[in-house]
Structure 1
Amino acid sequence: MASNKPAPEAPSPFRTDSFGDEDRTWEEWNPDEESIRPVRGRHRVAKQRGLARSSTVLGVGVIAAVGAGGMATAQSKPPVSISLPDSIVDNLPDAKSLPGVGAFMSHDSSADQEAVAETAAPLTSAGITAAEADQGATDAGEALRARILQQAEQQQAGADAEARAAQEKAAEEAAAAEAAKQQSEAEAKAAAKKKAAEEAAKKKAEAERLAKLAASYAIPTSSYTITSTFGEAGSMWSSGYHTGLDFAAPTGTPVKAVHGGTVKSAGWSGAYGYRTVLELDDGTEIWYCHQSSMDVTAGQKVTTGDTIGRVGATGNVTGPHLHLEVHTPDGSGIDPMSWLRSKGLTV
């Protein structure tokens, strides 16, 4: 707040100074209640919005307060009556001649009064933007608070937007992963179904092929029992293992051609007893051994199911049976049971 400066030091009681053409004698001035009572006349402080001429010091103090950013306003304070000796007042400079003070001292100009009113505006309006002023903001603290809240809201809105974007992205990624998983499962199911269908078709085709083959191939005898298989080890065989497939059956049971071909040989063959060798069109040889009798001769052509001999017990045997061997065109012996099954026959 502005305050009055102390009165100038009073001169010596007997000091005499000259002001212009007149000499005056100074006396010690001791203000009391009577002397500082408001007086009428040129020293009276006006109660209008302007400041009294004699309030120059007060006006300068108000300007200093306003310039320093103080919170007080000149308009909000009541006028203060100040009385100075005539000797001092007469020698004070004209207030209107002071820079920046003339506008405060005029009582006649409405423009000057408006200037004073603007000067007396609340200091808290400093730092308020034009947009905030248009919205009715008059207090810098409230304006700053509003800005902080607005900035916080903007930051929160940005954070919320980022969170929503992250959630949407995560949802999209999860949906894409789920779609890819479902597509992969669907493809796997389709592939498995296709594979199963292909396998079923393959089995069907193989069954049809074997059925056709079975129609052109035949089991070599009937009423039989498999007693020995290919590859069995034992001392009763000269090679150390069994080289064929034994069909145990009563003596005299017909022995049939398993497929059409040409009789390559028919006669006695040592440990094999009576043996017939049937050569097929692809060069495969079928050996029928231990027969009791033979019904074909070398060079004779036969067809599937023709009787070529009888089950017997000739040669190195322990009982009547048909010993059947299968040899590839290069002479290697193979498993007769596997070969017969490859032709669609059930043994």
Structure 2
Amino acid sequence: MASNTPVPEAPFDPFGGPGAVGADDPDGFAPGAYETASFTPAPGEWNPTEGSLRAESRAGGRHRIVKQRSNFARSSTVLGVGVIAAVGAGGLATAQEKAPVAISLPDLGLPDAHDLPGVGDLLPGGEEETAPRESAPAPAGGVAAKPLTSVTYTAPADTTAGTEAEERTATAADAGEALRARILQQAEQQQQAAVDAEKLAAEKAAAEKAAADAKAQAEAAAKAEAEAKAKAEAERLAAEKAEAERIAAEKAEAERLARLAASYSMPLSSYTLTSTYMQSGSMWSSGYHTGLDFAAPTGTPLKAVHGGTITSAGWSGSYGYRIVLELEDGTEVWYCHLSSMTAAAGQTVTTGETIGRVGATGNVTGPHLHMEVHTPDGSGIDPAEWLRSKGLSV
């Protein structure tokens, strides 16, 4: 709000100078100067009073007094009063639970707050509720103990005016309370908005974290599934390889046995197994059987199981007639209880060649071939297992 700017005036000098009486008129009169026969100011002295000016005016004299006014001071005072009235009416001073602050305003003869431009519209009541305003008497301490919201509306001399003042005070208090309520409501709304924003941010962060966790879990599951598939594929390939290797090994063994079978032969074409290797019994002096017995009729031809050399052919006590065939690797095959021998010692024979015939010579209970197999170091082994190792079926 701008203050009232004073109208430019001619400077006033009571001791003569531009603007003084008779300064521009040789006869002592100038436009606006005093024209009176009874008043002659002494040089260097000017101190008129309201009475003297009124008397001179009655005497028919003309005068002009340059009145000095401090518009800035009055504007500041009016502005201060207007602000106080607006603050009281608007309810900004709503600290009603606190002790009231006493103030005192001198009676400056100022217009009522309702008459102030732009201020009267803010006050409750308008022109209908405007009451004469008197200045509050100052207490001994110089400060009137009245609340800020009730200073403008004090009229203790008139009961009706007092009631209206109380109503205005209540209205101002209600307006202040309403403003306070609006402020609190706005604060609560702002606080609730902040809480909602924080909650929304927390929910968003939780959703993002859950999405990230789900993505990580999905990636981990996909990785685990890929690893499982790769492992299963590797196991499948390993199993297939092992199976292929087993089949190849069996095939190779079958081929080897076939080759061996082609080079090895059973000693008899037709027979019946009557006693097995290491079979126990009292019929044998050692308490157990040391070979494999093939029962067959006397005179059944005996074949060389493999090519080799006849190292012995003759009588051998309880073995009866016996032929010993030594193979290339040093293994010896014994043919015992023969009825006759068709190969002599030192003779080289081939696989399947007839070397003798079945008989019942020596310690026997009937005609049969007693066959023993000895390793190069002289240890006896199971003839049935040895024949099977050569691809033959016993």
Contact kept, 8 Å, 2:265 with 2:304, in 1: the verdict is: yes
Name the counterpart of 2:88.
Answer: 61
1:5-24 mapped onto 2 (5 Å cutoff) = none
Q: 2:359 aligns with which of 312, 315, 323?
A: 312
| Residue in structure 1 matching 2:388, options 337, 341, 344 | 341
1:255 aligns with 2:302: yes
Separation in structure 2 between the aligned mates of residue 52 and residue 213 of structure 1, nearest angstrom: 133
2-structure distance, mates of 1:293, 1:86: 169
Which of 146, 168, 193 is the aligned partner of 1:146? 193
Shift of 1:123: 6.8
Q: Does the CA contact (< 8 Å) of 1:69 and 1:123 recur in 2?
A: no
8 Å CA contact 2:89–2:124 kept in 1: the answer is no
Give the Cα separation in 2 of the matches to 1:87 and 1:258: 152
Structure 1 unpaired stretches of 5+: 1-50, 90-119, 128-137
Contact 1:311 1:321 (C-alpha < 8 Å) held by counterparts: yes
Q: 1:339 to 1:62 in 2, by over 3 A?
A: same
**Who wins on radius of gyration, i.e. which is larger?**
2
- Pairing partner for 2:130 from 63, 67, 81: 81
Equivalent positions of 1:216-235 (< 5 A) are 216-235=263-282
Cα distance in 1 for residues equivalent to 2:350 and 2:80: 153
Aligned to 2:319: 272
Task: Please give the TM-score of this superposition, normalised by the length of structure 1.
Answer: 0.66
Q: Secondary structure at the match of 2:235?
A: helix
Paired residue total: 254
SS at match of 2:344: coil
Separation in structure 2 between the aligned mates of residue 150 and residue 241 of structure 1, nearest angstrom: 101
1:210-265 per-residue CA deviation (whole Å, 9 max, x = no partner) reads 11111111101121011111111111111111111111111000011111111111
Tell me the equivalent position of 1:177: 224
Kindly indicate whether the alpha-carbon contact (under 8 Å) linking 1:225 and 1:249 is maintained by their aligned counterparts in 2: yes
Matched position secondary structure for 1:84: coil
- TM-score, normalised on structure 2? 0.58
* Distance in structure 2 (CA, Å) of the matches to 1:56 and 1:83: 20
Q: 1:287 to 1:87 in 2, by over 3 A?
A: closer
SS across alignment from 2:294: strand
Q: Cα offset for 1:66?
A: 2.5
**What is the SS of the residue equivalent to 2:256?**
helix
Q: More strand by proportion, 1 or 2?
A: 1
Q: Residues 300 and 172 (structure 1 numbering): CA distance in 2 closer, same or farther, change over 3 Å?
A: same
Contact 1:124 1:141 in 2 (8 A): no
What corresponds to 1:110 in structure 2?
A: none
In the alignment, the residues of structure 2 paired with residue 54 and residue 203 of structure 1 have an alpha-carbon distance, to the nearest angstrom, of 121
Indicate conservation of the 8 Å contact 2:86/2:123, yes or no: no
Q: Secondary structure at the match of 1:66?
A: coil
Matched, 1:243 2:290: yes
Aligned CA RMSD, in angstroms, stands at 3.2
Identity rate of aligned residues, in percent? 55
- Where does structure 2 lack aligned partners over 5 or more consecutive residues? 1-77, 97-120, 139-175
Q: Distance in 1 between matches of 2:302 and 2:329?
A: 21
Structure 1 residue 68, shift from structure 2 partner: 6.0
Offset at residue 168 of structure 1 (A): 1.7
The superposition leaves residues 117-155 of structure 1 with CA deviations (integer Å, 9 ceiling, x where unpaired) of: xxx9x678979xxxxxxxxxx944433332322222111
Q: 1:57 to 1:261 in 2, by over 3 A?
A: closer
